[in-house]
Amino acid sequence: MNRYGEPNFRVVWGGSRLAWIGGRWTDRDAHGNTIREKVELRRVPKYLPEDRWHVERWLPAESYGSPEQWLAQTTEIEDGVRVAALGPYPSRGDYEHCFTLESASGEFIALTPAACDWIVRAIEWSRRQRRTEMRGAIAAREARRERHMDRGMDDILDDAVPAFHGEAFVVSA
């Protein structure tokens, strides 16, 4: 539990989690015609896809800096109007995204207590790892991913690029 007696982790439905976003908004009618443009704060869905479960972890207010830093870093000016691009300072902290519950191919996965436990344990385990080890693991994963992509591109190009034989190009079928 956090200092306010609320859970450190929670699960929310994507379409129900709203966040403040400030800026220039263009409202359109059903045919896509512009009705009006307005500079303001609006509450909009925070997570995509909206039809998935999302695991969030609570962060204390100090993780966002001071209220003055927040204001300096998140205020934008649109047509001479100052707007808080990320809404008001989260004085009680806020919940931030950790994980979207979906399959590797992006398909819906039902929420279960076992899935929640596994995700929270994985997040907590990763927080205990040393930064240098984490950076090394991330670099190794990205190198593997790049090698895999390079092999895939080589295979595609091998099939698509004509082979040169003498003075003529022969396209492999």
pLDDT for 134: 63
Q: What is the mean pLDDT of residues 119-128?
A: 88
Q: What value does the mean pLDDT take over residues 31-41?
A: 94
Are 109 and 101 in contact, with CB atoms under 8 Å apart? yes
Q: Is residue 92 part of a domain?
A: yes
Domain assignment present for residue 53? The answer is yes
Residue range 21-34, pLDDT digits in tens? 999 999 999 999 99
Per-residue confidence (pLDDT) for residue 56, from 0 to 100: 94
Residue 130 is classified by DSSP as -
Half-sphere exposure of 104 (CA within 13 A, CB side): 0
Cα separation, 73 vs 65, whole angstroms: 10
If pLDDT is split at 50, 70 and 90, which confidence band does 65 have? very high
Residue with tokens 């927040």: 70
- Domain of 24 in residue numbering reads as 9-105
C-alpha 98/C-alpha 124 separation (Å) is 11
**Is 21 within a domain?**
yes
- Checking if the pLDDT of 165 tops 70, the result is no
Report the C-alpha gap between 173 and 163 in whole angstroms.
11
Across all residues in the chain, what is the average pLDDT?
A: 86
In 3D, which of 2, 116, 121 has the Cα closest to residue 53?
Answer: 116
Please give the tally of structural domains in the chain: 1
Q: Examine residue 125 and state whether it is found in any structural domain, yes or no.
A: no
Q: What is the pLDDT of residue 169?
A: 46
Peptide bond into 49 cis (omega under 30): yes
Task: Indicate the SS3 state at residue 7.
Answer: coil
Alpha-carbon distances, residue 25 vs 6, 12, 75, 159 (angstroms): 34, 26, 16, 47
Asked, for residue 120, whether it belongs to a domain, the answer is: no
Is the entire prediction scored with pTM above 0.75?
no
In a domain, 42, yes or no: yes
